[in-house]
Amino acid sequence: MARQLVEDLRESIVSSIRTKTITSCSRWATSRRVMGGDFSGPFGFKYHPWAKEPHDSLASFNVSMKAAQMGFTEIGINRAFYILDILRRDVLYVLPTALNASDFSRSRFAPALNYAPYIKGMFTDINTVNLKQAGTNTLYIRGSRGDSNLKSIPVSELILDEVDEMDQDQIWLAFERLSGQITQNIWAISTPTTPNRGIHKLYQSTSQEHFFFKCPHCSKSIELIWPDSFELCGETVNDPDCSKSYIKCHECNHKLDHKSKPDYLTTGFWEPTVSNFDPDQRGFNVNQMYSFTVSPHKIAMAYLRGVGDEGAMSEFYKSKLGQPYIPDGGQVTDDKLDRCIELGPKYTMSDPRPTQGGERFLTMGVDQGDWCHIWIDEWFFEDYSRDINVMAKAKNTWHGKFNAKVEGGWDRLDQLMREWQIYHCVVDADPNTLEARRFAIRFPGYVTLCRYRRGVPQKEIQLAEDLNRVMMATVDRTNWLDCSLGRFHQEDRIYLPLDTSLEAREHMKNLVRTYEKDENGNLEAKYLKMGADHFAHARCYSEIALPLAASYVQGQDISSFL
């Protein structure tokens, strides 16, 4: 018993002395953290030398825009533990969803405790999935979806993991959690998706640092950049020569041995790539060419898989290179909008309206909310036929908006229906469902409410009628946005007026087509919102209205025109 007490006292004294020497997060990690799996044993930087300096960053705002599996989540975990243990402050660790937060707690947090007795001993309560108590301090693990997840959590340390998968509006709410604290530190980590969104948007306001090292052959300070630092061999994924690919020094063209990376990357250092940056805002960008676990062969295969496959190429840029990417035709640009004005008939939105009983074929789309955004198209086609959207050309005759919150605001839609002699109007069903239904009841057969739903095949329109005979359409968002916005990427498919509003132009540009992995790990196309996009959706609803109008005029099932 006495011997055990002496041993415990000795260990306590040694631990206290060791703790006093731990003056940085990197030192804490190598002293306290124990890893399992492929890198089992004490935590170290041998295979991730670029991770050491970010551990110890003194900047209050840090951004990591990185390729997949580059060790930055471990930086976030280590910083969280270090702050709780040494700095004695609360930490908020945010992931995209509550499910992600729960999985993280079980798959990353729990093993960290099981492998390292010291870390396990830090915590007095770990039974709650999204809240871990370390003495008087707390580690909050939350999902970004829903305001209630992030409200009433005043902390000075915030870590955002996988920023681009989060509700982007919630990022700024998370930042507000630090507003009342004297000490404020933020870490944002993610692979990027598209330019000027999420992690890339945050990264642009930083030092934008890249990881340089001395070439073991020419001794020049270099970085690994695509494609200058890569020798691609083979022409297809199945080409045996693909395995001969290698990384190289872009200065001396000498091959850099993959297995020797832990040796020559130890000379590495982070270097800002922009001038006039705020030193209190650091950004780190690193790609998988640095990785010891990802061979040049795998990188070559990922690139060749993307040749001719925009989804795979998008994944290559994001996951392998850590760079944002927009596929060809993935975003409407100013040049394409200008072309729709220049190549079409010269007209303005104040040109004469159609006469009563005239032959002009017009549809209207309405994206509703506090403001209703309206888009009216005139259509030109030779005959009512199958896939009428492909056959027809569109001419935007008018677009505008009104305040839906003022009394009688929705009456403006009634005026537009009569003023433009609308054949059919499609209205976003939410959020003002009651007002949308009342509008539809006032124009029976001429108005359809619409909701986007996943799982609806291609451009199919699923219709259902309620007790008031109001028609509800359910469509796939991606496929109809492809159809609607795709017109701007082709010549002579849609015309715009000379007085097209700047707001409408911006809305069209704010939906970007990209690719993300679904719950099964398969790539699927998806439109990401870069900013206000109401006119883009109003344009989409007007596109959906075309086959509905043809169906009503011809008295045929809508499938005849899809």
Q: What confidence tens digit (pLDDT) does each residue in 64-98 have?
A: 999 999 999 999 999 999 999 999 988 889 888 88
Contact 322, 286 (CB under 8 A): yes
Q: What does the pLDDT read at residue 177?
A: 66
Q: In the structure encoding, which two tokens stand for residue 1, read together?
A: 């018993």
> Which residue, among 426, 318, 316, has the nearest Cα to 364 in the 3D structure?
426
Percent with pLDDT over 70 in the chain: 92
Q: What does the pLDDT read at residue 180?
A: 62
Q: What does the pLDDT read at residue 150?
A: 60
Q: Which residue has the higher pLDDT, 95 or 154?
A: 95
Beta strand pairing status for 462-465 and 494-495?
A: unpaired
Q: What is the pLDDT of residues 463-490, one digit of tens each?
A: 998 877 899 999 999 999 999 999 999 9
- Strands, E assignment, 392-455: 393-403, 424-428, 447-452
Q: What is the pLDDT of residues 171-226, one digit of tens each?
A: 777 777 666 666 678 999 999 999 999 999 999 999 999 999 999 999 999 999 99
Q: In the structure encoding, which two tokens stand for residue 562, read together?
A: 């899809």
Beta strand pairing status for 361-367 and 424-428?
A: parallel
Q: What is the pLDDT of residues 41-64, one digit of tens each?
A: 899 999 999 999 999 999 999 999
Residue 445 has pLDDT above 70, yes or no: yes
**SS3 (DSSP) at 352:** coil
How many whole angstroms separate alpha carbon 523 and alpha carbon 525? 7
Residue where the block lists tokens 């451009």: 459
Q: What does the pLDDT read at residue 3?
A: 58
Residue 279 has pLDDT above 70, yes or no: yes
Percent with pLDDT over 90 in the chain: 67
Q: What share of the chain is helix, strand, coil (3-state, %, to 5)?
A: 40, 25, 40
How many whole angstroms separate alpha carbon 288 and alpha carbon 226? 10
CA distances (Å), origin 102, targets 153, 212, 498: 18, 36, 53
State which amino acid sits at residue 91. Answer: V
Give me the sheet containing 361-367, strands edge to edge. Answer: 462-465, 471-475, 447-452, 424-428, 361-367, 371-380, 393-403, 494-495
**Residue 45 DSSP symbol:** S
Mean pLDDT for 237-257 is 96
- Most confident stretch, 112-116, 155-159, 423-427: 423-427
Q: What does the pLDDT read at residue 9?
A: 46
pLDDT band at 308 (very low <50, low <70, confident <90, very high): confident
Q: What does the pLDDT read at residue 286?
A: 97
Beta-bridge partner residues of 450: 428, 473
Backbone angles phi, psi at 451, to 5 degrees: -135, 140
Contact 238, 197 (CB under 8 A): no
CA distances (Å), origin 294, targets 70, 112, 261, 310, 319: 10, 24, 11, 22, 11
Q: What is the pLDDT of residues 497-541, one digit of tens each?
A: 999 999 999 999 999 999 887 777 777 889 999 899 999 999 999
Contact 129, 156 (CB under 8 A): no
Q: How many CB atoms lie within 10 A of CB 172?
A: 8
How many whole angstroms separate alpha carbon 471 and alpha carbon 457? 19
Mean pLDDT for 375-391 is 92
Tell me which H or E stretch contains 82: helix 72-82
Residue 6 has pLDDT above 80, yes or no: no
How many whole angstroms separate alpha carbon 209 and alpha carbon 191? 15
Q: Could you give all domains of the chain from N- to C-terminal order, each with its CATH number?
A: 18-232+263-295 (3.40.50.300), 334-561 (3.30.420.240)
Beta-bridge partner residues of 185: 157
Average pLDDT, the chain: 89
State which amino acid sits at residue 448. Answer: T
> Which residue, among 494, 497, 452, 496, has the nearest Cα to 473 in the 3D structure?
452
Q: Which residue has the higher pLDDT, 351 or 455?
A: 351
Q: In the structure encoding, which two tokens stand for residue 449, read together?
A: 């409410």
Q: How many CB atoms lie within 10 A of CB 141?
A: 25
Q: What is the pLDDT of residues 96-136, one digit of tens each?
A: 888 888 888 888 888 888 888 898 888 887 666 666 778 88
